Amino acid sequence: MAVAFHPLEEYLALESGGEVYVVAEKLASEFAAKAGLTAIRKIVHFPGKKLEYANFAHPFLDRAILGVLADYVTMDTGTGVVHTAPSHGAEDFATGVKYKLDLTTNVDESGFMHNGLPDYEGKKVFEANAPIIELLKKRGVLLHAEKLEHSYPHCWRCHNPIIFRATDQWFISMETPLQGGTLRSRTLEDIKKVKWDPAWGEERISNMIATRRGEPQSDRALCLRRRGLVVYARSRWACGWQQVRPVQRNKIQERNRHHRCLVRVRLELCRRPWPGTEPALPG
């Protein structure tokens, strides 16, 4: 959907073989070597901020790609130009919101890709890498490909890699006026009436309710994660949890009892409106 440039870094326009390439100045030599460029001529250099709102052609889709600015673009490897997918990562999402990019998610809940070309349509995300690389080769737009080792988030239960997807979220203001106080004060009062197992869960959720702020819809809002039940069920049954040996499963369940406890409490808060209020929740 976009390509990000660092606003303060210097970039070069390099000419080679009748083509012009834009690359970060600090990475120009490494890029030229890996791409096999010869007879290179430097045309001009400029700060990354000059490419904000520039339009680029997508390598294989009929789509314009917007040039955006982002401080998270690094100069340690690559080209200094970073692919940005607003629906697949927190930093990318924030950039997408800033530049009003399309936030549609074309990866479903099972990790399959949709609305693309036949080369990768219906394939799982991690299985689509190879056909997309071949597609780039066929189109004559692939300059270099290599494998990199880096850290990556994994499921804390089955240890499989996680796919980030943007999903709809609902928020409610913690300062909503209620009879006898606000949603925040009434929630804190009712938390004290609950028997907690383990006992330290009471302090944890009390602190969360007391300090909750900074969500997108309000400076004092609580995210009503109505998808919580689905996410919880899938994390247990769809990600390989059934393949865990019974003895090991029992140990994991004992170690993570508080996660299930907090999920149940959160769903209960969502399903039971306070007297006199009927929050508009999705069905």
Q: For 233-266, give the DSSP string.
A: HHHHHTSSGGGS-HHHHHHHHHHTHHHHHHHHHH
pLDDT at 272: 38
The pLDDT mean for the chain works out to: 79
Q: Using one digit for the tens of pLDDT, what is the confidence trace for 114-134?
A: 998 999 999 999 999 999 999
**Banded model confidence at residue 220, pLDDT cuts 50, 70, 90:** low
pTM for the predicted model, two decimal places: 0.67
Q: Is 249 helix (H, G, I), strand (E, B) or coil?
A: helix
Q: Return the bridge partners of 22, or none.
A: 13
pLDDT beyond 90 at 235 = no
The better pLDDT of the pair 158, 79 is held by 79
Q: Using one digit for the tens of pLDDT, what is the confidence trace for 239-268?
A: 444 444 444 444 444 444 433 333 333 333
**Banded model confidence at residue 24, pLDDT cuts 50, 70, 90:** very high
**Banded model confidence at residue 189, pLDDT cuts 50, 70, 90:** very high
Q: Using one digit for the tens of pLDDT, what is the confidence trace for 134-178?
A: 999 999 999 999 988 888 899 888 888 888 888 877 777 788 788
Cα separations (Å) of 229 from 49, 234, 262, 268, 279? 43, 9, 12, 11, 19
Q: Which pair of tokens denotes residue 234? A: 């899938």
Q: At what angle do helices 201-211 and 257-271 cross, to 10 degrees?
A: 50
Q: What is the DSSP letter of 112?
A: B
Pairing of strands 2-5, 64-69: parallel
Q: Using one digit for the tens of pLDDT, what is the confidence trace for 48-69?
A: 999 999 999 999 999 899 999 9
**CATH 3.90.740.10 spans which residues of the chain?**
2-102
Homologous superfamily, domain 2-102: Valyl/Leucyl/Isoleucyl-tRNA synthetase, editing domain (3.90.740.10)
